[in-house]
Amino acid sequence: MGKSAKKMWRTRRHDQDQVDMLSRSCGCHPIVAGVLINRGITSPKEATAFLNPSLADIRSPFLMKDMTKAVERIVAAVEKQEKVLIFGDYDVDGVTGTTLLLEFLLTLGADASFYLPDRFREGYGLNREYILQRAVPDNVRLIITVDCGISSVEAIRTANDHNIDVIVTDHHEIPEELPDAFAILNPKQSDCSFPFRMFAGVGVVFYFVLALRKHLRDKGFWANRTEPNLKNVCDLVALGTVADIVPILKENRILVKAGIEVLDSGIRPGMNALKEVSGLAGSDLNTWDIAFKLAPRINAAGRLVKATAGIELLTASDRDTALPVAHFLNETNSRRQRIEKEILNEAIRLLESNPPHLRQKSIVLCGEGWNEGVIGIVASKLVGRYHRPVVLISVKNGTGKGSARSISGFNLYEGLKECAEYLDKYGGHEAAAGLSLPPGNIPDFAKRFEHVVCTNTEEQDFIPRITIDRRVRFDEIDSDLTNQIERLAPFGMGNPEPLFAAEDVRIAASDIVGKCHVRMSLRQDSHFQGSIQAIMFNGASMWPLPEKFQRIAFNLRWNCWQNKKTVQMIIKEAE
């Protein structure tokens, strides 16, 4: 089960009658119809909505449990000029959600401020010490959590004891004991009637603000004021939603699509500055740009220093204010990358110098003084390399703080629940989680975690899979198909970019570009007389290339260069 494990290719099967029906009904290419069916979209109505995501189609925020109660409490706080404190998380989801709520409350004239905890001194979530040492002395009357709070039982009990109401907005899994909050907005509650449950924290906040705006409209609040256009905050929703790796489906798809349009329009100075330092100025963005260029720079602040720099950037009023903060985030991200590389190399050395580790179905490693802000990213990279659940634990000052990442066949949150006797705290969801434990418990935890993984998985879960949407002949590839594939974006979890396969592919020409990428001209003589351009990023390790590939797996995109658009294959796998 080492890093060289051979991947299993799996091509999805289609009911051709169903494909033909959907293609005719929606006027889409049969290949696109097949991809839609692969995504669980089988009716013409669903397909039309998917291909044309519109803010007009999002459902009422008042379907969410406790929404009316939460909205009325905020309106009362604004009217009485009570002090309102937004308590967010230090990651991109928390930073964007906090920014969105803060900006909206300030437009209402609320006496609102925000606080993001220090990852290293305070850790994740609302805590009792903050209530006693900051909220009570500052005479805060209402706390609203963003991307946290669903597990803050003790902290919220303390707030209640001091007559501070707490509204929880969160999207994490529901624990066995809920806090006694004034209101809880989390669509994962079993008795919540909102029909979609997979929001990021910023998505829950967006719906809260949407409900607030509607409630105030009904009260005539906007009669003499400009009612905010909430499409303009979808850039924040897109950034937090993509960064938090939730499914880009249903409402999330609509909001991310709208958010990318707002990002491209350049209305927020902070986002423009971030695009500039990320090398994205002037280009049309996609979810890949958000996930791998914009989000890591905002995340870097919370991982290494203080997350408030992200809010400074996103609320900046002009370029001169935003650009220095963007440069600071860029430099912090470069430092984060260096630290991450050091920990990754150390983790690989630990594993590969100890072969019994690699015979197990889970990886649990600890390191003295590892930066707890970056071990989650390192855990993700180890999952990619070894394809099994990974827990990395930083031991510092007599405490172990861990980040865990999983494979698709193993629910991490449920797995940690079975190891709870060894943990002080844990939380998260099926793919990612955080935990803390005494260092002395690490060996027993590792043994128990391995047992839980073995018990709840099958052998095939540990074989990396390539899921092909469809085999495609070169003579089926043209500009119309490429245009229609673009309509399936934005891509992400739940809606991956379509992956196609072609067989019997001859390499007509090839060269190395940008040191490590391979550019090719490909032919498939049995079906197609011309050639198609292709690139394999980081493919130089395959150099020199063979004369032909037995099969390739690829995405299909437009390549725009010097005002010229050409169809290009992005090769993901080749044999």
The CATH number of residue 196's host domain is 3.90.1640.30
Residue 491 belongs to a domain? yes
The answer to whether residues 497 and 528 belong to one domain is yes
pLDDT in tens, the chain (575 residues): 344 457 889 999 989 999 999 999 999 999 999 999 999 999 999 999 999 999 999 999 999 999 999 999 999 999 999 999 999 999 999 999 999 999 999 999 999 999 999 888 888 889 999 999 999 999 999 999 999 999 999 999 999 999 999 999 999 989 999 999 999 999 999 999 999 999 999 999 999 999 999 999 999 999 999 999 999 999 999 999 999 989 999 999 999 999 999 999 999 999 999 999 999 998 889 999 999 999 999 999 988 888 999 999 999 999 999 999 999 999 999 999 999 999 999 999 999 999 888 899 999 999 999 999 899 999 999 999 999 999 999 999 899 999 999 998 899 999 999 999 999 989 888 888 999 999 999 999 999 999 999 999 999 999 998 999 999 999 999 999 999 999 999 999 999 999 999 999 999 998 988 888 999 999 997 666 789 999 999 888 888 888 999 999 999 999 887 778 899 999 999 98
Measured CA distances, 132 to 55, 116, 129, 140, 393 (Å): 42, 16, 5, 11, 30
The answer to whether residues 108 and 121 belong to one domain is yes
The answer to whether residues 77 and 226 belong to one domain is yes
CB-CB contact of 170 with 150 (8 Å): yes
Residue 573 belongs to a domain? yes
Show which of 408, 438, 462 is a domain's final residue.
462
The answer to whether residues 400 and 545 belong to one domain is no
Q: Domain range spanning residue 92?
A: 61-230
Residue 73 belongs to a domain? yes
Residues in Cβ contact with 310 at an 8 Å cutoff, skipping those fewer than 6 apart:
92, 95, 99, 298, 301, 302, 329
In DSSP notation, 383-400 reads HHHH-S-EEEEEEETTEE
Cis peptide upstream of residue 544 (ω within 30 degrees of 0): yes
CA 274 to chain centre: 18
Residue 114 belongs to a domain? yes
The answer to whether residues 458 and 470 belong to one domain is no
Both structure tokens of 498: 């379509």
Residue 119 belongs to a domain? yes
Both structure tokens of 232: 């303009």
For residue 538, what are the β-bridge partners? none
| Total tally of structural domains belonging to the chain | 3
The answer to whether residues 374 and 429 belong to one domain is yes
Q: Which long-range contacts (CB under 8 A, 24 or more apart) does 571-575 make?
A: 571/520, 571/534, 571/535, 571/536, 571/539, 572/466, 572/499, 573/7, 573/9, 573/466, 574/536, 574/539, 574/542, 574/549, 575/549, 575/550, 575/551
The CATH number of residue 393's host domain is 3.10.310.30
In DSSP notation, 140-181 reads EEEEEEES--TT-HHHHHHHHHTT-EEEEE--SPPPSS----
Backbone φ/ψ region at 29: left (φ over 0), alpha (ψ -120 to 50), beta: beta
Residue 46 belongs to a domain? no
The answer to whether residues 392 and 479 belong to one domain is no
Show which of 195, 212, 230 is a domain's final residue.
230
The answer to whether residues 174 and 119 belong to one domain is yes
**Of the candidates 466, 481, 477, 470, the residue with the CA atom closest to the CA atom of residue 524:** 477
Residue 263 belongs to a domain? no
Cis peptide upstream of residue 324 (ω within 30 degrees of 0): no
CB-CB contact of 575 with 549 (8 Å): yes
The answer to whether residues 73 and 162 belong to one domain is yes
Instruction: Give the burial class of 303: count Cβ atoms within 10 A of its Cβ; 0-12 exposed, 13-18 middle, 19 or more buried.
Output: buried
Show which of 462, 485, 515 is a domain's final residue.
462
Largest CA distance in the chain: 78
Within 10 angstroms of residue 461's Cβ, the number of other Cβ atoms is 17
Residue 421 belongs to a domain? yes
The CATH number of residue 549's host domain is 2.40.50.460
The answer to whether residues 94 and 203 belong to one domain is yes
**Of the candidates 301, 304, 302, 326, the residue with the CA atom closest to the CA atom of residue 313:** 326
The answer to whether residues 483 and 450 belong to one domain is no
The answer to whether residues 516 and 380 belong to one domain is no
CB-CB contact of 254 with 58 (8 Å): yes
